[in-house]
Structure 1
Amino acid sequence: MKRIPILDLSSEINELKPQLLNAFENVLDNGVFIMGDNVKRFEEEAAAYLDTPYAVALNSGTDALVIALLAAGIQEGDEVITTPFTFFATAEAISQVRAVPVFVDVEPETYNLNLDLLEAAITPKTKAIIPVHLFGQPMDMQRLMSIAKERGLLVIEDVAQAFGADYKGRKAGTIGDIGCYSFFPSKNLGAYGDGGMLVTANKAFAEKAAMLRVHGSRKKYYNEIAGFNSRLDELQAAILRIKLPRIEEWNAGRRAAAARYGQLLEHVEGIILPWETADVKHVYHQYTIRVNDGKREALQQRLEAEGIGTMVYYPVPVHKLPIYESMNAAMPVSEQLAGEVLSLPIWPQIEPSVQQFIVQKIIEALR
Structure 2
Amino acid sequence: MKTGFTAGSVFFLLLVFCTNGLYAQGCVAIRHFSSCSGNHLESNLLGKGDWQIGMNYRYFKSFRHFQGTHEEPDRVANNTEVINHSHAWDFTVTYGISDRLFASITIPTVINTRSSLYEHGREERHNSFSRGLADIRIGAGYWLFNPQEHLNGNMAIGLGLKLPTGNYNASDIFYNVGENGQPQVRPVDQSIQPGDGGFGIALDLQFYQKIGGEFYAYGSGFYLINPRETNGIRTFRETLSPILDNEAIMSVPDQYAFRAGVNYNFSPETGVSLGARFEGVTVEDLIGGSQGFRRPGNVLSVDPGISYMKNNIALNLSVPVALRRNRPQSVTDRETEQLTGEPRNGDAAFADYLINLGITYRFPSKNKTKVPDLF
Does the alignment reach a TM-score above 0.5? no
| Bin of the TM-score, shorter chain as denominator length | under 0.3
Task: Give the structure with the higher percent strand.
Answer: 2
TM-score calculated relative to the size of structure 1: 0.27
TM-score calculated relative to the size of structure 2: 0.27
- Which of structures 1 and 2 has the bigger CA Rg? 2
